């Protein structure tokens, strides 16, 4: 994955390089790469954490609150997918970290702060694009092609991501994560039969993979196979009962089918899973 120098991070976050280094040291959880005799290299997740620290500092929160919020965000950041859904907000007296349907409230605060990682991703994209071009010339293993595909997705280059996932599968046909991600991209492109085939291929290799099971349910629903979709969602719930979206989809389909009791059960579970902590 692309690594960023202190100077590049300083330019992205519009603050002095010295401040970048100070925030990195203060956070205590940002561990930039550093080879002997080489400068620090920050990952994109490090950049997100530093952006959060900068925003919370500007909101004049208590220092302890800032680092507790940063620690929570570090634990929530997904290592294997784009980060554009991650948001940090200060609402009234609450600091809230959101990642899709997850909301986290670590401390109290007074100021409202709302920024999206998508904005940062757009600034990072030119730097990532250069590294992706290099990766297309240097990737030699399935995992390297998979990482390249993730970078392409991060910058919204889905066509290039598809190529990279297919290259990964050329080298390792049983790379389950690449199969699922390629299926998702084909799903987004509305190539539903191909997406379904890819999800089923992943499940042949990993029958207990909840994401593949859930994605198969979604594509079956999109293809009008409602009963089959319900069956896949039920299996996804069995494999991982804490995924809110599965409960929501089941509630919606059960309601359409007239099974109000089942719909209420899953909708109640969905609400519990998406309720902000502390409520």
- Sequence spans of domains, the chain: 4-122, 125-274
Query: Does an H or E element contain 251, and which?
Result: helix 244-257
Write down the pLDDT at residue 163: 92
Backbone torsion region of residue 87, taken as left when φ is above 0, otherwise alpha when ψ lies between -120 and 50, otherwise beta: beta
The 3-state DSSP class for residue 30 equals coil
| Measured CA angle at 58 (ends 54, 64), to 5 deg | 75
Q: Which residue has the higher pLDDT, 117 or 268?
A: 268
- Average pLDDT for the chain: 76
233 burial (CB, 10 Å; 0-12 / 13-18 / 19+) is: buried
227 C-beta neighbours (distance < 10 Å), count: 9
> What is the average per-residue pLDDT within 203-223?
94
SS (H, E, C) 88-142: EEEECCEEEEEECCEEECCCCCCCCEEEEHHHHHHHHHHHHHHHHHHHHHHCCCH
Query: What is the value of pTM for the model shown?
Result: 0.56
CATH of domain 125-274: 1.25.40.10
* pLDDT tens sequence across 96-127: 656 554 555 544 333 334 455 556 566 666 66
* pLDDT tens sequence across 37-57: 555 677 766 777 777 777 767
CATH topology for the 4-122 domain: Multidrug-efflux Transporter Regulator; Chain: A; Domain 2 (1.10.1660)
* E-only strand ranges, the chain: 4-5, 41-42, 86-91, 94-99, 102-104, 113-116
111 C-beta neighbours (distance < 10 Å), count: 14
Q: Cα dihedral sign for 34, 1, 14, 72?
A: negative
Write down the pLDDT at residue 139: 81
Contact 208, 176 (CB under 8 A): no
110 C-beta neighbours (distance < 10 Å), count: 10
> What is the average per-residue pLDDT within 57-80?
63
Write down the pLDDT at residue 106: 43
Backbone φ and ψ for 41, nearest 5 degrees, come out as -130, 125
Q: What does the alpha-carbon distance between residue 162 and residue 185 come to, in Å, rounded to a whole number?
A: 7
């Amino acid at each position: 994955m692309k690594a960023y120098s202190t100077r590049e991070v300083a330019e992205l976050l519009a603050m002095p390089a010295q401040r970048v280094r100070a925030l990195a040291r203060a956070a205590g959880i940002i561990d930039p790469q550093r080879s002997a005799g080489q400068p620090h290299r920050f990952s994109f997740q490090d950049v997100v954490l530093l952006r959060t620290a900068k925003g919370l500092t500007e909101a004049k929160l208590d220092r302890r609150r800032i680092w507790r919020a940063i620690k929570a965000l570090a634990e929530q950041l997904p290592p294997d997918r784009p980060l554009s859904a991650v948001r940090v907000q200060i609402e009234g007296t609450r600091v809230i970290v959101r990642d899709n349907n997850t909301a986290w409230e670590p401390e109290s605060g007074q100021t409202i702060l709302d920024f999206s990682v998508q904005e940062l991703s757009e600034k990072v994209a030119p730097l990532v694009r250069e590294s992706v071009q290099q990766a297309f010339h240097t990737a030699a293993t399935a995992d390297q092609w998979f990482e390249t595909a993730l970078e392409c997705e991060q910058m919204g280059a889905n066509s290039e991501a598809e190529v990279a996932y297919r290259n990964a599968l050329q080298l390792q046909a049983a790379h389950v994560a690449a199969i699922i991600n390629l299926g998702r991209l084909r799903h987004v492109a509305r190539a539903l039969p191909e997406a379904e085939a890819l999800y089923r291929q992943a499940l042949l290799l990993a029958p207990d993979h909840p994401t593949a099971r859930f994605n198969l349910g979604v594509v079956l629903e999109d293809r009008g196979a409602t009963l089959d979709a319900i069956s896949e969602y039920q299996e996804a719930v069995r494999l991982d009962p804490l995924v809110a979206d599965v409960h929501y989809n089941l509630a919606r389909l059960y309601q359409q089918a007239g099974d109000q009791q089942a719909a209420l059960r899953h909708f109640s579970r969905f609400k519990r899973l998406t309720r902000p902590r502390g409520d």
